[in-house]
Every structure is written in structure tokens, then in C-alpha cells.
A and B are shown apart, each in its own frame.
Chain A
Amino acid sequence: MDNTVTKRRMRSYVIGFYLLLFASWQAVITLHWAPDYLFPSPAQVFKRLYELIHDGLLTPSIKATILRMAFGFSIAGAIGLVIGTLMGMSTIAHACMKSLFLGLQTLPTAAWVPISLLLFGLSDRGIYFVIVMSAGPAMAIATADGILNIPPIFLRAARTLGTPLFMMPVRVILPAALPSIVSGIKLGWTLGWHGAVSAELIKSSVGLGYLLYMGRELNDAPQVVAIMIVTIIFGLLLDRFLFGIFERRIRKRWGLLKEQPV
């Protein structure tokens, strides 16, 4: 079977699926199965989306959320990497912190919002706090697991070739654990994105979460759904394209990637 043909066919199935989804959504409203003031039609949603862009409300909000993510996520990544490396290299640190981080990970990201309000009030620092607490544990655990799963033979090869102990983390341990670290970054980004939008619901005057909140305040269901869709699209874009491509590249270079059917 020709691979490109099946791929193309699969793509048309996916496009067909979305067309069908939007068509049945529109049909539900047009046939008055659901009241349109509660449940907007796709037409209303896209109209509202156009207005939001036209009025200059959407672009600054997307920018604000992404910038907050960029900053908060960098902090989360740095902390996660350092703690994860420590956990990967010391069995004591691992034993102590793994359960703590697994525990923290069970908290829904939105559950960090109340404590961040208490600690930081209505400032942006509170949003960064939520992002760090949402994304950090996942990245620390992925880094630690990546290090613990390094084939011992790499470490022994590095030692017999004369690597000084203090150079082991930079030269061998982190590169060997990189595929796992990148998966952690990807997961962390998703969790951080959840956290950022949750925090913006309450704490902000700009951002995707803020527009969601305003939509609810104004009983503007089309806006709420429109912003949900935008949030999904940007979350997906950054996850699949930015980190997805990076992850794929690394897995390919490390020889971990077998041709996968997509």
C-alpha cells in the first residue's frame, strides 16, 4: 500500500470529521434543539471571534497569555531541570521528593489559584506562581526518570574515556536524558498552559482567561466558546508544532524513532 496515498486519505477523513462536527453543531441550533442564547451556533461564535479581532481585544490577550507562559515556563523549566537532575543523581533526593512531586501533580492546576491569590494578590506574579507549580513537578519527574533510565554503559564508557566527574552532567548525563526531558517539557507546557488560563480567569485584566471571564460576566456565550476555541488552537499549535517538532528531531537523532504510521 502506498504510504502517501493513505496519509492523504487520512487527512481528508480528519477534515471531513471537523466539517461534520461543525455542521451538526449548526444543525442543533438551526433546528432549535437548544436555545441559542445559552448555546451559540458556530456562525455566532465565528462572528464574535471576528469582532474580537476587529476590536483589537483578541490579539493583545493572546500575546499577554503567551508572554506570561514564556516567562513563567522558563522559570518552571529551570527549577524543574535543576531539581530533576538532583533527584536523578541522588537516591536520597529521589526518595524524598518523588512522592512530593507526584502528590503535587495530582492537584488540578486551577487548585493553585486560590493560594496564589492569598500569596500574591492580583499581580502577575501570582500567574507565574501558578504556571511554575503546574509545570514544574512534571518536568522535574521527567528529568529524574530520564537520568535514572540512562543505560549504565554510557556512564561507564564516559568514565573510561577520561571524563572528569564534574563534567559528567553536562557532557553525558543531560544529553543522554534529553529525549525524556523534552517529553517532560511538552507535558509541562500543557499543564502550565492550563494553569495560566485558570489563573487569568480571576487575576487579570488582559489574557485569554480574562476574556473567558468577561464573556461569562456579560452573558456572552459566543465569546466564551470563541475564546475556548482560540485557547485550544494555540495550546495545540505550540504543543504539536513547537515542542512536537523538537521532540521528533531529538528522538530521531538518538535513534529512538521508528517510522510511525500517522
Chain B
Amino acid sequence: MPGKNGGNGSGALELRGVSKTFKAEKELRTLQDVNLTIADGEFVVFVGPSGCGKSTLLNMIAGFDAPSEGQILLAGKPVKGPHPDRLMMFQEHALFPWMNVLNNVRYGLRWKYPFKRKRQLERARELIKLVHLDEFEKALVHQLSGGMKQRVALARALAPDPKILLIDEPFPALDTMTRQKLYGDLQSLFVETRKTIVSVTHDTREAACLGDRIVIFSGRPARIRRILNIDLPRPRDLNDAAVSEYSAEILKELEAEEKNG
């Protein structure tokens, strides 16, 4: 079942009755019976009260953590451990400082095309071009601005052509201008590459600007409270009136949750 974006025909991501319990001093249930199907080429955003377990869910999709109950399936196969099919982008850029931009972007390709140096470099350069950093191929990580680092991280994540891109808080520590530009870039990349993207945020406006579907979680233990479809054409701007309306609606839902919770 393809999403609005057309998809790349690699199959959907299915969450079946996913729960997570952490065993600290007492049992701490963070996620409760999450059922969700994410179609190919869909941009889904998780929002919810802070600490509700939405990041835990993203970690489990990435394979860093396993559900206590339930199953996560990608194209019908259960998810086991990290794999570049479900590639995660982190809050901080997490670029490797001992490599230059080119080698950072090339990094995942070393394992996808082992020993094929030429192919690795070609693909890496293609991605660097896509994020408009051609002139900074040889630059070191600490020489880049915050926005550039995030663009390199994006290029690095897209290079191995993941089926699903997981984004934990896209572009948090950046100024408004840079963020806005990156939202534009991310949307055009989304449209061009037809990637499935799952992202976590606590910024309702960001969610409304980026997502096809917004999954709103309740407080701990997190359940899906509501799923909101955003029927707006792309590219969307953070300041569009329609985006603001959706943002307000998400916010209202979160506030209602806070009162109940």
C-alpha cells in the first residue's frame, strides 16, 4: 500500500502491539500496545509529552532496543538489531570528527559496496552535491557551521539508500533561519527520493510542516492518542497559515492530554 509520495516499493513498516517496559528499581512501562502501519514513502511524525517514550519507539525501529512485547516488521520481516535499511539520524549530527566531509558521507557505503572505492566515492559525491556542499568535500567537521553539519549528516544518512530514514528531533540546536532552510531541503529530498521518513519532535509547528501523518502519543505509558492526517501540498513553509492551523490542533490535543494525564 503505497503512501501519497508513491513510495519505492520496498514494503511497509508495521508495529504490532509494541510495548516496552524498563526494569529499573521498579518496572517502568513507557510504551503500551502501539499498533501502527507506516506506508512506503510516507512522512510520519511522532509527537507527545516529553519523556513519553516516542524516542524509545524510534530506537526500537532502528534496532538499538527490542520491544518487551509485540513486534516490529519491515516488509513482513521482524526487525533485529541496527541495519542501514532503517537508518537513524541523531539529534546531534554525530559526524565522525576524524574524517572529512567526503569520508563521512562515504562511510555507510564502505559496507554497502565493500572494496568498490570508485562506486563509493561517486555515490558520496552525488549526495554531497544534493545537499549543496560540493565545495566542502575536504573540510573537517569542526570547520563547518551547525547547519552544514546537519546537511552532511543528512547526506551520510541518505547515501546507503535506506528504506526508512529515522530522524530523532530534526535540527534542534540551530537558529530559526537555518532550520527553516533545512525544513525546505528535507521536504524536497523527501519528494525527490521518495523515502519513508519517521521523525520524532516536540515542536508542533515542525510536525505540521513536515508530516503526512502526525501520531500523537499520550503521556507515560505512551499509547497512540490520535492520528492526524495533514492534507497540504508540498513544499510547505513553517509560516503557512494552514500549517499554523494544524499546529494549533496538535497543540490542543497535547494540552488536553496534559490535563487528563
Binding site for B on A (CB under 8 A): 153-154, 156-164, 167, 171-172, 175-176, 178, 253-255
Contacts and interface: CB of A to CB of B under 8 A. Distances in A.
Contact of B108 (A161, A172, A253): A161
B170 to A, nearest CB: 15
Interface string B9-44: 000000000000000000000000000000000000
Contact of A254 (B88, B94, B98, B110): B98
B232 to A, nearest CB: 30
A162 B112 contact: yes
B156 A161 contact: yes
Contact of B87 (A160, A164, A175, A255): A160
Interface string B61-73: 0111000000000
A26 to B, nearest CB: 49
B7 interface: no
B252 interface: no
B139 to A, nearest CB: 11
B97 A255 contact: yes
A175 B84 contact: no
16 contacts: A153-B92, A154-B94, A154-B96, A156-B94, A157-B94, A160-B62, A160-B83, A160-B86, A160-B87, A161-B87, A164-B111, A167-B111, A253-B140, A254-B97, A255-B97, A255-B142
Nearest to B156: A161
B96 A175 contact: yes
A255 B139 CA distance: 12
A156 B156 contact: no
Nearest to B59: A156
Contact of B94 (A153, A167, A253, A255): A153
Interface in B43-92: 62-64, 81-84, 86-88, 90, 92
Contact of A159 (B64, B96, B112): B64
A70 B53 CA distance: 54
B160 interface: yes
Nearest to A175: B98
B128 to A, nearest CB: 16
B86 to A, nearest CB: 8
Contacts of A160: 62-64, 82-84, 86-88
A248 B141 CA distance: 17
Interface in B84-118: 84, 86-88, 90, 92, 94, 96-98, 107-108, 110-112
Contacts of A175: 96, 98
B107 A161 contact: yes
A162 B98 contact: no
B90 A162 contact: no
Given A162-B83, A162-B84, 9 more contacts: A153-B90, A154-B96, A156-B88, A157-B96, A159-B82, A160-B83, A175-B96, A176-B98, A254-B97
A192 to B, nearest CB: 26
